[in-house]
């Protein structure tokens, strides 16, 4: 059942003096694009008649989508609480369609919806909750971001050591005021100026929508506090990177099917299969969950970032950590994704791989048995993704081919770049 009807939304727009409607959508790589319109065009906006040119969006023109239409998801309607009280701004998250209103199969939102619908047809519902890490850095006199922290706080520290506590509190209050979702917990992380916010479990495309809303809100509120928020996987050499861990549990008929109290390890055959499937496809998935050159700087630096394929109940270096919640219910924590990951594609790839393992009743390797190294560079990850026919089919061959092509270009641009490290290391020697 929809959260709001179109009529209710139009009434709220009028009652709340909303002057602008912001149509947000995620491009093929997870970047949030925005299209703003005056409220006088709200009829067109809600009807999905607002158009953007495909050649402005990386990948869309290559896929043959020269004109794209934005179809608002009415359940995502929210009045932005940080905008002026007069001339308010409302936002929708949108699906991408063609002129006839058909959903574009290559859009990340559509890909995730397709994966979750397949699971639903089999009677499964997926509970997910992300744990999002980010840094709050200082800005310079001109408001430009730096990598200076201005604090020495560590894990679970509070003010005055935690210099971002007030900003983090404001972020949570803003999210709750926005009606986006409820927060499970928040705290200062290990590194100076590093923070973590954990969501309460939710289902469906809504979870990825929440991540998109969260990132946008965090950046906006940080700016109001004179800070710069970044989800960059590894912003400083000497500090840990930022993850976006995903906690996953599968339910059928209201029961967590990962749990088997009679089993020696407390885990069901379904849990074994799900983890085995995720492990089998993890090298290819890395190109999705760790999608930029900088992602692999986080993984190489350790700091509890995964570098090898295995599962554990205790080792925080494992990309898959099996945990027990209330009533000893089993949950799979996938620790590999980072702050640059497209949440729609990341969830889609993980769920599809795990469900494939369940369907095939794959055998789970022994606990903490290493199955080889994870990709060490974006180049290696993209090559693994290109070789994984199952993942390519999950995302769609058209999308997969475009993604591989664009990520290969990204790696080539990086490979040609002369870095500051090279200048420091070699300029005075040769």
Assigned architecture for domain 115-416: 2-Layer Sandwich (3.30)
Of 119 and 327, the one with more pLDDT? 119
Which pLDDT does position 179 carry in this prediction? 67
pLDDT digits (tens, 9 = 90+) for 278-324: 999 999 999 999 999 999 999 986 678 999 999 999 998 999 999 98
Task: Give yes or no for residue 40 having a pLDDT over 60.
Answer: no
What is the pTM assigned to this prediction? 0.94
Which pLDDT does position 338 carry in this prediction? 97
**Among 151, 238, 226, 237, which Cα is nearest to 195's?**
151
Task: Give yes or no for residue 277 having a pLDDT over 90.
Answer: yes
Residue 120 tokens read as 């639903």
pLDDT digits (tens, 9 = 90+) for 145-195: 999 998 888 888 888 888 889 999 999 999 887 666 788 999 999 999 999
- The DSSP code for 38 is E
CATH 3.10.20.70: does it fit domain 6-103? yes
**Among 31, 29, 28, 50, which Cα is nearest to 39's?**
50
Locate the domains of the chain by residue range.
Answer: 6-103, 115-416
Question: What is the pLDDT averaged over residues 410-420?
Answer: 96
Question: What is the pLDDT averaged over residues 200-215?
Answer: 92
- The DSSP code for 185 is E
Long-range contacts of 96-99 (CB under 8 A, 24+ apart): 96/25, 96/65, 96/68, 96/69, 96/70, 96/71, 97/48, 97/68, 97/69, 97/70, 97/71, 98/65, 98/67, 98/68, 98/69, 99/67, 99/69
Which pLDDT does position 301 carry in this prediction? 63
Q: Do 381 and 336 contact (CB within 8 A), yes or no?
A: no
pLDDT digits (tens, 9 = 90+) for 70-97: 999 999 998 888 766 677 888 899 999 9
Rounded Cα–Cα distance for residues 12 and 388 (Å): 47
Phi, psi of 36 (to 5 degrees): -105, 140
């Amino acid at each position: 059942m929809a959260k709001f009807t179109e009529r209710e939304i139009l009434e709220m727009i009028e009652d709340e003096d909303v002057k602008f409607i912001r149509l947000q959508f995620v491009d093929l790589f997870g970047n949030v694009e925005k299209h703003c319109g005056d409220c006088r065009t709200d009829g067109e906006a809600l009807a999905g008649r607002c158009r953007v040119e495909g050649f402005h969006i990386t990948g869309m023109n290559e896929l043959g989508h020269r004109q794209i239409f934005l179809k608002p998801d009415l359940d995502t309607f929210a009045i932005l609480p940080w905008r002026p009280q007069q001339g308010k701004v409302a936002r929708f998250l949108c699906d991408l369609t063609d002129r006839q209103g058909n959903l574009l199969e290559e859009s990340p939102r559509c890909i995730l919806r397709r994966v979750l619908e397949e699971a639903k047809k089999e009677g499964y519902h997926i509970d997910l909750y992300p744990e999002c890490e980010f840094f709050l850095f200082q800005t310079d006199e001109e408001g430009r971001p730096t990598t200076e922290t201005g604090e020495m706080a560590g894990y679970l520290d509070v003010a005055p050591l935690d210099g971002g506590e007030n900003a983090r509190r404001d972020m949570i209050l803003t999210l709750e005021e926005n009606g986006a979702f409820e927060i499970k917990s928040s705290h200062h992380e290990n590194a100076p100026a590093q923070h973590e916010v954990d969501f309460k479990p939710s289902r469906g495309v809504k979870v990825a929508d929440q991540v998109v809303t969260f990132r946008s809100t965090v950046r906006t509120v940080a700016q109001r506090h004179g800070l710069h928020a970044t989800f960059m996987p590894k912003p400083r050499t000497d500090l840990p990177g930022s993850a976006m861990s995903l906690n996953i549990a599968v339910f059928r008929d209201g029961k967590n099917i990962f749990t088997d109290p009679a089993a020696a390890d407390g885990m069901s055959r379904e849990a074994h299969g799900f983890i085995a499937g995720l492990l089998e496809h993890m090298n290819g998935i890395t190109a999705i969950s760790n999608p930029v050159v900088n992602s692999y700087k986080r993984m190489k630096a350790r700091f509890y970032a995964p570098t090898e394929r295995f599962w554990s109940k205790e080792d925080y270096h494992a990309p898959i950590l099996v945990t027990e919640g209330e009533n000893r219910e089993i949950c799979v924590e996938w620790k590999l994704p980072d702050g640059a990951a497209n949440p729609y594609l990341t969830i889609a790839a993980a769920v599809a791989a795990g469900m494939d393992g369940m369907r095939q009743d794959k055998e789970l390797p022994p606990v903490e048995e290493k199955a080889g190294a994870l990709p060490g560079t974006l180049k290696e990850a993209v090559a693994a993704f290109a070789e994984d026919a199952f993942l390519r089919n999950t995302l769609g061959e058209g999308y997969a081919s475009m993604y591989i092509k664009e990520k290969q270009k990204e790696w080539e641009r990086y490979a040609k770049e002369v870095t500051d490290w090279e200048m420091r290391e070699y300029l005075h020697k040769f």
